[in-house]
Amino acid sequence: MVDTRQRILGATYACVARWGLSKTTVEDAAREAGLSRATVYRYFPGGREELIHDVVTWELMRFFGRLYEEVQGAESLEAVMERGIRFAHRSIVEHEVLQRVLQTEPEMLLPTLTIESNRVRQGIAEFLLPYLLRHGMAEGVDPGRAADFLARMVLSYISSPGRWDLDDPGEVRELVRSELLAGVVVGPEPRADGGGEVPPALDDET
């Protein structure tokens, strides 16, 4: 059973998808949600500004929820990162509402995203930490700092791929192994047989 707040946010998102951030009003959201304006204001006393801010963070959290779903089955640190980067990159490229907002009204979105990026980064770091610890750190490398560094880099690559083709599994593997994990961990994930070979490629795993 979807609670009222979620219902309003979902409706607001539908409006944003249709009309963009600047044009979506409290009235639009209320109508879409089948609720009164008064109800919407009750949940969002800050009015339109609060509603817009919250719908951005709402979709941001949903994005990372989808990302989590995608990677949580991964066995190794390398697989988590490779799969995560590829999926996140694809999701951003294919996110129609995001792309449209970035094209037409980035100033409505970027300040909120930037503020939220600290929280997002912490979330990614917290997610990676157990994988890091399980894998084994290079000596003298603080796991918390390493997780923070990785989270920063992951966010950087998925939002701006630069010279990298993040749809190419080979390139993503190379990226993860050198620029992300090289200084953080030592060698591939330990295996039960004590072998030290390079872990299986991402495409081998599925």
Q: Which stretch binds other proteins (CB under 8 A): 14-22, 33-41, 68-76, 183-191?
A: 183-191
CA trace torsion 194, 198, 202, 206 (10° rounding): -40
* Residue 110 interacting with other proteins (CB under 8 A): yes
* Of 46, 47, 73, 111, the one binding other proteins by CB under 8 A: 111
192 alpha carbon, distance to own chain's centre: 32
Q: Over the Cα atoms of the chain, what is R_g?
A: 20
**Binder of other proteins out of 3, 94, 96, 160 (CB under 8 A):** 160
Tell me the Ramachandran region of residue 162: left when phi exceeds 0, alpha when psi lies from -120 to 50, beta otherwise.
Answer: left
Kindly state the smallest distance separating residue 11's Cβ from other proteins, in Å. 26
Pick out residues in 135-154 that bind other proteins (CB under 8 A): 136-141, 145-146, 148-149, 152-153
Q: Is 185 helix (H, G, I), strand (E, B) or coil?
A: strand
- Work out how close the CB of 32 gets to other proteins at its nearest, in angstroms, rounded to a whole number: 27
Cβ atoms of 11 and 29 closer than 8 Å: yes
Chain residues that interact with other proteins, rule: CB under 8 A = 92, 102, 106-107, 110-111, 113-114, 117-118, 121, 136-141, 145-146, 148-149, 152-153, 155-157, 159-163, 177-188, 190, 194, 196, 198
